[in-house]
Structure 1
Amino acid sequence: MKYAIKIHKISTVNALPDYWNSNDFKQLLEKFGFADAESTDIKELQELLFMAIADYETNEAAAIVLDYKLSEHLNQGQIDQLSHEMLLDKISEEYPEIWLHKDLFSINQLLYKAYNGKFLNTEATIVDFEITPIKNADKTITKEIVLKCFAQNLTKSNVVNRLFGNQVLAKEAFEEANDVIWDLQKNDHQYKMITSDYWMGKNEFLSGDFEAAIEFFDEE
């Protein structure tokens, strides 16, 4: 199958829009011992949360936020370990469970801002683009289709091409595509893809306008 892709904009960001909401901040404030926040303004709530977090040791604060967001997926031992490792490593890029990277990114960046840089800064990439099926190509655009197309427009040294070369070439199933791409949003013919800068850095894209022929793994 073949697709034509036109990239309109590539942005590097250090926070995901709309990941945290007012209710998240109110619940976190309660967990940090500040249960009387009456404001409904998300910026005010965030500032209150940052002040509340500052009263805690970095690993203690990390454990509280990790527990709030990921207690259904991680046990207490894993949370405690991550709360210490986050100060030393970019966990949202290195953690083996790729499907947790998006959450770990937003948790890390919240703590990074709350502690004015004590945690390591990480970034995400947002790509606004059009994708047009050519001839009989599937018109239902999935994360796998997008990632396979974009992989052909990334440098050979790019992490996706190095780690998932067989999957990109359809020699193996590409289940990881759904986790490498954090979000894929459609608005008419326009798409927005969000992923980690670790997977796709702005300077790794080769062209703003290209065609890509892709295949899918066929289990015999």
Structure 2
Amino acid sequence: MRNRALISILASLGAIVAATGALAAGEKHVSVQVVDQRGMPIRDAVVEIERPATSTGAFSFPWRNAMAQRNLAFTPGTLIVPRGSVVAFPNLDTVRHSIYSFSRAARFKFDLYGRDQSRTQRFDVSGTVALGCNIHDQMRGYVRVVNTPFAAKTDQNGIARVEGLGGGSYRVTIWHPQLRAPNNEQSEMLSAPASGQPVRAAVILR
């Protein structure tokens, strides 16, 4: 009986260790902090890590492929979507909007549509799609179309947490509408620690 009890305990401990290991593996991530030329954190910069050769197949992000118009602004102001995505543009304002883009990655225009109506657009080319409204000149929005599942936006501390990767050396692309570089983006190799602590990347803003 004692042997059976001991075997049962050891099996339970093994299951706990395996579950803990699986949890830890599922929590691995790479964090990148983006700062400007003064060392100040940059919010809403897009951080993309080149997809490893071992990562294949379709992917999606945990947020919705949607950009609303609310309070005369695009919400969110920057949206990251996989290439080939269909994005919804619901109007949550009491006024009508007409959305357009002259970007190389996508050229389109939605005629005026009102509250609680929506339009959709498919994005088949990777890159940045800058959006505007023909009625409200102050409205600016950006859809960043990516080829990698390893992408995220920076928070108020300038930190983007990219899930699913452990420590290592990666080619990282950073995009921001005010970044002073061709296509408002810069790429570099960064070495991320296995601890998940942020690795810093400095960019120059206009």
Q: Which has the larger radius of gyration?
A: 2
TM-score (norm 2): 0.23
The structure with the largest strand share of the pair is: 2
The structure with the largest helix share of the pair is: 1
